[in-house]
Amino acid sequence: MKLKAGDRLVFIGDSVTDMGRKRENEAPSEGLFEPLGTGYPHVVSGLLNAVYPDVMVRITNVGISGNTVLDLKRRWQRDVLDLKPDWLSVMIGINDVWRQFDLPQMAEKHVLPDVYEATLRELVVKTLPTLSGGVVLMTPYYIEPRKDDPMRKRMDEYGAICRKIAADTGVIFVDLQAAFDRVLKYHNPNYITWDRVHPNIYGATVIAKAFLDAIGFDYTHQA
């Protein structure tokens, strides 16, 4: 596994990362009393501690519901650079796409592909030299099996941008849409999510597994 004892892992993103994390005044969430929320950071933390009790990793959740990549840029210094992580996981883009569909008349809330790519690339490039570990870049997704669905098609465009940035910068890439497509062969979206975006524990575990697979997590590890 790529994570080492003493590493700090920061998860940043939108509501799918946030998922009710405990915080005051948007402070980072970590520590006692289940602070990481009910989403994939919580599942990752549980599996890391259960399978790798010999590798203590400090996990911090700074996801904020409703965020776009532009929101991340505005708080990047406080919520990433100032925390001095060894590893950073970024999953952003759902709201960048969603606002184009649920608020089509409010163009100021839309983050179009060129802005999304330029901003996300800027954040990745300037952060990489500060990390002793690396960046895990996870795609946005839409839990909809029909690839011709307009919002699914748009989300796939943003996923392709993430893939391009990861290839250009050498960071770890995680295709969450592909991870969900695998389970959608067997289950209706309603089994995973109520709105095709916010996952239940099943969906959160799909994301967590994809993340852990990407960092070389070994489920048979013996401490």
User: Is 195 part of the annotated catalytic residue set?
Assistant: yes
In the set 18, 86, 175, 198, the catalytic residue is: 198
In the set 15, 29, 45, 89, the catalytic residue is: 15
- From the CB of residue 78, how many other CB atoms can be counted at a distance below 10 Å? 13
User: Is 15 part of the annotated catalytic residue set?
Assistant: yes
The Cα–Cα gap between 94 and 97 comes to 5
User: Is 198 part of the annotated catalytic residue set?
Assistant: yes
In the set 195, 213, 218, 221, the catalytic residue is: 195
CB-based contacts of 200, cutoff 8 Å, min separation 6: 192, 193, 194
- Residue at 59: amino acid letter: I
Q: Which residues are catalytic?
A: 15, 195, 198
